[in-house]
Amino acid sequence: MSSLKVTTALLVKLGDWPNCGQLMHKMKSLRYAKRLVGFDSTSSLSNRLVSKYLEMKLTKHGFVVEKIEYLDEKRVPKVNLIAKKGGGRGGLAYFSHTDVVPAKRWFTNKFGPFEPAIARQRLYGRGSCDMKGSIACMLTAAQRFAWDDLKQPIYFVCTADEEIGFGGARRVVEDSKYYREMVANRTKAIIGEPTSLEVVHAHKGSIELTATSRGQAAHSSSKQGLNSNLAMIPFLADLKAIHDETESDPKWRNDAFDPPTMSWNISVKDDVAAINVKASKTICRVYLRTMPNVDEQSLLDRVAESAEANGIELQINRWGQILYVDPDSEFVTESLKLAHKIRPKTVSYGTDGGVFTELEDKIVFGPGSIAQAHTRDEWIAIEQLTMGTEMYAKMIRHWCC
């Protein structure tokens, strides 16, 4: 007997017969979450199988599904689903992603990262928190509403490649007819990332800098060749000075966020095969998190000046824009009231919401804590799945019925 059946049987045995139907309805989100976690949809792989499963479930429960397929940079097939249920204009859109980060190291040998397991009232597995648990909640909530119940539509969006640069979301913006509908009709939007069911009105943006220094490999004892690190070292010194300035100077801070800084994350890698070989290429990558009311462009100009001075090739890639919605806006205020919260929050991570910039009314709101996302023992509390389902159903009823 599965652990889910055991849990249900025990609850019924303890005298919950009058609420058995309601209990089974609530437990559906757990069943969906377990099924979704079972698909290995790591970003480097195709998400076709998990998308096929979701397409089947969405179609079964009254959604019309628009499918956008593409090949990523490594020619791996990817799928975006954009589904609609109900007529009218406006309504509510739910945004999610089906890809997950790698799970090369898992905390136990008893079960793997894609073998969902229940223990201590938690569902363990890669993606359980970020963000297949959230998808399960909305899938369960949306089933409660027949087409005829809806005065405004529900949109259900599942993207690929969120974890590696929001590539799927960009395709939705470029190619989806349903997304154009949402923009034209000012559809309300929920980005279902884990927020512990707190209403989030702002998150940071993201920029990737790639700096490449080139040399010529040769034996380190000879006059031949050129170590690529010789140009990279002074560039890194300039980066370190900029990093330290943004950590200490108040003009680069925004105290609405935690941490209140831009969090320059710097990594360096060269291609040297042995300690006695001069490096022919060194790559420095910087992940920068931008914030409202902070002028990152002047900092980027300083980085570019240093790169040019040191003969470094520099590429700047803006992955996702800042998400910011007025905390006193009508949509945020209504969301707070529905969630029984006093004030909205900010988060320091990014979401697909930084790509869906044309949608004016949007929040980040989902079950699970970001502290459990991407960990070697990723999990989501079963209570969060239950509460998330109820909250999403409440929001559908408020904006669509």
The tens digit of pLDDT for each residue in 203-249 reads: 999 999 999 999 999 998 999 999 999 999 999 999 999 999 999 99
Confidence band of 26 (pLDDT split at 50, 70, 90): low
Confidence band of 341 (pLDDT split at 50, 70, 90): very high
Return d(Cα 166, Cα 99) in angstroms, integer.
Answer: 10
pLDDT, position 198 = 98
How much of the chain exceeds pLDDT 90, in percent?
A: 91
pLDDT, position 16 = 41
Domain 205-320: CATH class, spelled out: alpha beta
Is 33 a residue whose pLDDT tops 70?
A: yes
Please give the average per-residue pLDDT across 52-56, as a whole number.
98
Q: Tell me the catalytic residues.
A: 99, 162
Q: pTM, whole model, 2 decimals?
A: 0.89
E strands within 86-204? 92-97, 117-119, 122-124, 154-159, 188-191, 200-203
159 and 352 Cβ atoms separated by less than 8 Å: yes
β-pairing, 200-203 vs 77-85, is: unpaired
Is 17 a residue whose pLDDT tops 70?
A: no
**Domain assignments of the chain as residue spans, ordered by start:** 3-202+322-400, 205-320
Closest Cα partner for 33 from 112, 115, 135?
A: 135
pLDDT, position 25 = 55
- CB-CB neighbours of 282 under 10 Å: 25
The tens digit of pLDDT for each residue in 114-153 reads: 999 999 999 999 999 999 999 999 999 999 999 999 999 9
Residue 318 in tokens: 């803006």
pLDDT, position 288 = 94
294 and 277 Cβ atoms separated by less than 8 Å: no
Please give the average per-residue pLDDT across 171-182, as a whole number.
98
Is 29 a residue whose pLDDT tops 80?
A: yes
Domains 3-202+322-400 and 205-320 share a fold: no
Is 190 a residue whose pLDDT tops 70?
A: yes
Residue 306 in tokens: 């240093």
pLDDT, position 319 = 87
pLDDT, position 13 = 33
pLDDT, position 6 = 38
pLDDT, position 3 = 41
Q: Which residue has the higher pLDDT, 11 or 78?
A: 78
Is 24 a residue whose pLDDT tops 70?
A: no
- CB-CB neighbours of 318 under 10 Å: 14
Return d(Cα 130, Cα 134) in angstroms, integer.
Answer: 8
Is 197 a residue whose pLDDT tops 90?
A: yes
Is 21 a residue whose pLDDT tops 80?
A: no
The CATH homologous superfamily for domain 3-202+322-400 is Zn peptidases (3.40.630.10)
Closest Cα partner for 95 from 377, 356, 380?
A: 356
pLDDT, position 271 = 86
